[in-house]
């Protein structure tokens, strides 16, 4: 099976390479008819890949050769951060027409990347109906159901017959983002049910929609957080999910392709926070932009590191008397940091996926405490024997071993507890990043290590 998949991948890469070379040749020859014939045979994602690889000179030719609706299919397959520059280099009137042809939710996502003046300019030039639809979506707060939903769906009335619903579907299908589900409204335009395309096709023409619709429908509030919606898609295997206001009026739908983008966005954001970066650091960022994103946490951690250094300074007398203690500072701090980061990863993932309810959180803390005790004990015993044979000092080995055991237990508890506390106060648990936990655990491990050394100085 793996060999077959590899063959398919090789064939796909060869086919893409062949197409892209042919398309590039038509661009170099400035042959519009040949370009359109070859380019439009490619899958929209391949078109986007090819477009993204081109120079500005070639992109200007592509703008001239493609219709707005054709370029719209390309733009929705390009990374959001890239589309901003592409739209700004187009002729504004042509760019406005492209926006009009894009699904409203994708157009809104791109417009949110632009300056307000540019947004106003595009909306002024744009087709009136498309502009009104986009304006409506622009008002919703970012990362909520309203900001990612589309208004391009098919809704039918409960009082309609199957035949009337099918005729309505044929009229709206081309504009709709999905037709697998048709949403049923009552006379007050409230969402009351859903009908699948399959149920519609197999029912007799005279049957009322109210008789075949399913009233067991799941909908989300327009203000619902996009991360919670992504979890619902995962749990229920939805293809689409309706969005309603507080009176159950249907406002739009969220489709699975939009949720896949949300999942990628949330994962990138959490990964950045775990790495101690304020925003997602992208490969195409310049050095100044990358440094700007990384500096805030680094500066905070710098001052926390200074606190750790001053803490070690408080035990200067202990170090003067037993200098060998300094050798094991990185070892103890490193082990505490590693175990804390492991517990942190488990806790953050569980909170992000919604796996831990209140009872689950308590259970996790007890499990991590036991895990920390077991791993700490094993590591402590191993290092005690190593130091005894290395330095021929039994008590030094016991001191370092006990310090490592205690540090690992405390660090593991901290790694699982800190993100839960942050979540309790509605702070993103990913903010309890790896570097942050590591620095906290450095402070704890130093206190434990030198506290024990100072207490039992007479035996060293």
H/E stretch holding 251: strand 250-255
448 and 328 part of one domain: yes
Q: Are residues 369 and 421 in the same domain?
A: yes
**pLDDT above 90 (res 157):** yes
> Residue 391 maps to which CATH number?
1.10.357.20
Place of tokens 């805030």: 296
| Domain assignment present for 279 | no
Last residue within a domain, chosen from 204, 236, 255:
255
Which pLDDT band holds residue 345 (cuts at 50, 70, 90)?
Answer: confident
The more confident residue out of 46 and 142 is 46
Identify whether residues 23 and 101 lie together within a single domain.
yes
Domain co-membership, 311 together with 454: yes
Residue 39: which CATH number? 1.25.60.10
Write down the pLDDT at residue 362.
Answer: 80
- DSSP state letters, 365-423: HHHHHHHHHHHHHHHHHHHHHHHHHHH--HHHHHHHHHHHHHHHHHHHHHHHHHHHHHH
| 206 and 118 in a common domain | no
pLDDT tens sequence across 66-107: 999 999 999 999 887 788 889 999 999 999 999 999 988 889
Please spell the DSSP secondary structure of 300-362, one letter per residue.
Answer: HHHHHHHHHHHHHHTTHHHHHH-GGGGGGHHHHHHHHHHHHHHHHHHHHHHHHHT---HHHHH
User: Token pair of 57, please?
Assistant: 């000179």
* Residues 142 and 159 grouped into a single domain: no
pTM of the predicted structure, to 2 decimals: 0.61
Q: How buried is 217 (Cβ within 10 angstroms: 0-12 exposed, 13-18 middle, 19+ buried)?
A: middle
Give the CA-trace dihedral at 20, 21, 25, 31, to 10 degrees: -30
Instruction: Let me know the angle formed at the C-alpha of 95 by 89 and 101, rounded to the nearest 5 degrees.
Output: 145
Q: Is residue 223 one of the residues assigned to a domain?
A: yes
Q: Rounded to an integer, what distance in angstroms lies between the CA atom of residue 118 and that of residue 134?
A: 14
CATH number at residue 236: 3.10.580.10
User: Which range among 235-249, 253-267, 354-368 shows the weakest confidence by mean pLDDT?
Assistant: 354-368
Classify residue 270: in a domain, yes or no. Answer: no
Q: Does 83 reside within a domain?
A: yes
101: number of Cβ within 10 Å: 18
The radius of gyration of the chain's CA atoms, rounded to the nearest angstrom, is 30
- Distance (Å, whole) CA 221 – CA 206: 34
Question: Final residue of a domain: which of 84, 115, 148?
Answer: 148
Q: Provide, for the chain, the percentages of residues in helix, strand and coil under a 3-state DSSP scheme, each rounded to the nearest 5.
A: 70, 10, 20
Residue 240 CB partners (closer than 8 Å, separation 6+): 153, 178, 180, 181, 253, 254, 255, 256
The domain tally of the chain equals: 3
Looking at the fold, whether 201 and 238 belong to one and the same domain comes out as: yes
Other Cβ atoms closer than 10 A to 292: 14
Asked whether residue 429 falls in the same domain as residue 291, the answer is yes
Average pLDDT over residues 208-233: 90
Q: Does 131 share its domain with 56?
A: yes
Q: Does the pLDDT at position 340 exceed 80?
A: yes
Return the ∠ at Cα 128 (arms to 125 and 134), rounded to 5°: 90
User: What does the longest C-alpha to C-alpha distance in the chain come to?
Assistant: 96
Q: E strands, 85-163, where?
A: 155-157
Looking at 148, 182, 201, the residue that finishes a domain is 148
pLDDT at 426 over 80: no
pLDDT at 276: 54
Report CA 428 to chain centroid distance, whole Å. 13
**Same domain, residue pair 165 and 95:** no
Going by C-alpha positions, the residue among 62, 61, 86 that lies closest to residue 75 is 86
Which burial class, exposed, middle or buried, applies to 354 when counting CB atoms under 10 A from its CB (0-12, 13-18, 19+)?
Answer: middle
The predicted pLDDT at position 18 comes to: 83
Which among 408, 172, 273 is positioned nearest to 400, based on CA atoms?
A: 408
Assess whether 446 and 392 both reside in one domain.
yes
Q: Is the pLDDT of residue 403 over 80?
A: yes
Q: Average model confidence (pLDDT) for the chain?
A: 83
CB 60 within 8 A of CB 90: no
Q: Is residue 276 part of a domain?
A: no
In which domain, by residue range, is 225 found? 155-255
Confidence of residue 299 (pLDDT cuts 50, 70, 90): confident
Q: pLDDT exceeding 70 applies to what percent of the chain?
A: 87
Report the range of poorest mean pLDDT among 149-158, 166-175, 294-303: 294-303
Higher pLDDT: 257 or 269? It is 257
- Higher pLDDT: 210 or 307? It is 210
pLDDT bucket at 142, cuts 50 / 70 / 90: confident
Residue 305 CB burial class (10 angstroms; 0-12, 13-18, ≥19) = middle
Residues 210 and 184: beta-carbon distance below 8 Å: yes
> Residue 253 gets which letter from DSSP?
E
When pLDDT is cut at 50, 70 and 90, the band that residue 373 belongs to is very high
d(CA 272, CA 267): 9
195 dihedral zone (left: phi>0; alpha: psi -120 to 50; beta): beta
Judgement on whether residues 109 and 248 belong to the same structural domain of the protein: no
3-state secondary structure of 425: coil
pLDDT of 51 reads 93
What distance lies between CA 92 and its chain's CA centroid?
A: 31
Residue with tokens 């005790």: 373
**In the chain, what percentage of residues exceed pLDDT 90?**
31
**List of E strands, 128-219:** 155-157, 181-185, 191-196
């Amino acid at each position: 099976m793996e060999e077959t998949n590899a063959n398919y991948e090789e064939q796909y890469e060869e086919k893409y390479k062949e197409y892209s070379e042919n398309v590039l040749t038509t661009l170099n020859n400035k042959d519009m008819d040949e370009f359109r014939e070859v380019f439009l045979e490619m899958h929209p994602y391949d078109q986007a890949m090819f477009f993204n690889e081109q120079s500005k000179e070639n992109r200007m030719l592509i703008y001239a050769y493609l219709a707005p609706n054709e370029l719209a299919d390309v733009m929705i397959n390009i990374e959001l951060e890239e589309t901003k520059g592409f739209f700004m280099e187009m002729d504004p009137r042509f760019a406005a027409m492209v926006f009009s042809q894009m699904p409203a939710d994708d157009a809104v996502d791109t417009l949110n990347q632009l300056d307000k003046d540019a947004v106003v300019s595009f909306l002024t030039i744009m087709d009136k109906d498309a502009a009104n639809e986009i304006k409506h979506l622009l008002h919703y707060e970012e990362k909520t159901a309203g900001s990612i939903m589309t208004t391009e769906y098919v809704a039918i009335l409960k009082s309609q017959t199957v035949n009337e619903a099918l005729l309505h579907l044929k009229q709206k299908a081309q504009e709709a983002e999905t037709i697998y589900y048709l949403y049923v409204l009552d006379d007050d335009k409230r969402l009351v049910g859903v009908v699948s395309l399959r149920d519609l096709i197999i029912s007799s023409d005279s049957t009322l929609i109210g008789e075949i619709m399913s009233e067991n429908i799941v909908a989300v509030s327009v203000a619902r957080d996009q991360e919670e919606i992504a979890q619902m898609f995962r749990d229920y295997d939805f293809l689409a999910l309706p969005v309603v206001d507080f009176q159950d009026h249907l406002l739009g739908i969220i489709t699975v392709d939009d949720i896949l983008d949300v999942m990628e966005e949330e994962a990138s954001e959490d990964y950045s926070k775990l790495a101690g970066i304020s925003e997602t650091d992208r490969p195409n960022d310049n050095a100044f932009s990358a440094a700007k994103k990384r500096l805030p946490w680094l500066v905070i951690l710098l001052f926390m590191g200074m606190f750790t250094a001053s803490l070690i300074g408080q035990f200067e007398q202990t170090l003067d008397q037993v200098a060998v203690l300094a050798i094991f500072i990185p070892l103890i701090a490193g082990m505490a940091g590693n175990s804390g980061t492991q517990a942190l990863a488990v806790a953050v993932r569980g909170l992000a996926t919604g796996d831990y309810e209140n009872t689950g959180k308590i259970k996790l803390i007890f499990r991590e405490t036991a895990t920390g005790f077991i791993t700490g004990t094993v590591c402590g015993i191993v290092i005690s024997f190593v130091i005894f044979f290395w330095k021929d000092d039994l008590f030094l080995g016991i001191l370092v071993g006990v310090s490592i055991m205690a540090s690992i237990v405390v660090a593991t508890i901290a790694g699982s507890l800190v993100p839960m506390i942050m979540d309790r106060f509605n702070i993103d648990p990913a903010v309890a990043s790896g570097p942050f936990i590591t620095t906290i655990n450095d402070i704890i491990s130093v206190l434990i290590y030198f506290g024990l050394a100072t207490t039992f100085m007479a035996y060293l």
